[in-house]
Amino acid sequence: MYYGKVEICGLDTSKLKTLTSEEKRELLLRASGGDGAARDELIFANLRLVLSVIQRFSGSRENMDDLFQVGCIGLLKSIDRFDLDKEVEFSTYAVPMIIGEVRRYLRDNASLRVSRSLRDLAYKALTVREETLRHENREATLDEIAKALGVGVHEVTEAMSSVADPVSLYEPIYNDGADPIYVMDQISDESCSDEAWLENIALKEALSKLTPRERSIIELRYYGGKTQTEIAARIGISQAQVSRLEKSALSQIRKQM
């Protein structure tokens, strides 16, 4: 898509014919009777509508030409299923159909796979948010969305997070003209820091200087999650002896480190 023009998939939509309501109705009537030429004319006359709908998905990582083609599938379904007996404009019926088709495509082609029920809840939540924005010109709160859908706020939060686009670790978040700062530059793993690495070496060195019984008590107590009573029963001494040996071992470790 070229943002300075109205060209997409090699098609210049500015050259497409604009139909009046009467012309649309006449073409829909003919198309419903099997007139292929009328159906084709309806398709081309409404490609601008598809373009306007997919622009709301411009923030996604999908190619806009692909989304345009998916939107056209929604347009085709709208033409084939439109009920002329209902007092509603064709565009009013077609827009939700096109949006639904695009959303299904985005859902089924998401980078991260999540359950269908979670995705469905997410898109229902997004629909509530869009309706609130359109009718009240404001963003719906999570509480309002949860109440409208009859679910908990936590479920809404989890569902909406599941359909958010993943961010690359190499996504630039700041650039002052010099070297950019990437997402990965803001992420750290303290367990792998130089300090933690050196501390781990010192701890292993300190443990190696304990007696076999003291080392066994420390490992069972702090790595095995055992109580002093459980350790006492396991190695055949009293709980008081375990307590004394543990204190002595900890004191030695502190001195070593």
Enter the tokens of residue 232: 């006492």
Helices (H), 109-193: 116-136, 142-149, 153-162
pLDDT for 163: 64
Q: Would you state the pLDDT for residue 177?
A: 58
What pLDDT tens digit does each residue of the chain (257 aa) get?
A: 334 444 555 666 667 777 888 888 888 889 888 888 989 888 888 888 888 888 888 766 677 888 888 989 999 998 888 888 877 788 888 888 888 888 888 777 665 555 677 778 887 888 888 888 778 878 888 899 999 999 888 888 888 776 665 555 556 665 655 566 666 555 655 555 555 655 677 778 888 888 989 989 988 888 888 888 889 998 889 988 999 999 888 888 888 76
C-alpha closest to that of 94 among 120, 123, 73, 68 = 73
Predicted confidence at residue 66, as pLDDT, reads 85
pLDDT of residue 179: 62
Sign of CA dihedral 130, 133, 139, 144: negative
Position 170 scores a pLDDT of 56
The predicted-structure confidence for 85-116, as pLDDT tens digits, reads as follows 877 788 888 888 888 888 888 777 665 555 67
Residue 46 in 3-state DSSP? Answer: coil
Q: How many residues does the chain have?
A: 257
What is the pLDDT at residue 167?
A: 56
Other Cβ atoms closer than 10 A to 2 = 9
Pairing of strands 11-12, 7-8: antiparallel
Is the entire prediction scored with pTM above 0.85? no
Give tens-digit pLDDT for 220-245. Answer: 888 888 888 889 998 889 988 999 99
pLDDT of residue 3: 40
What is the model's pLDDT at position 2? 38
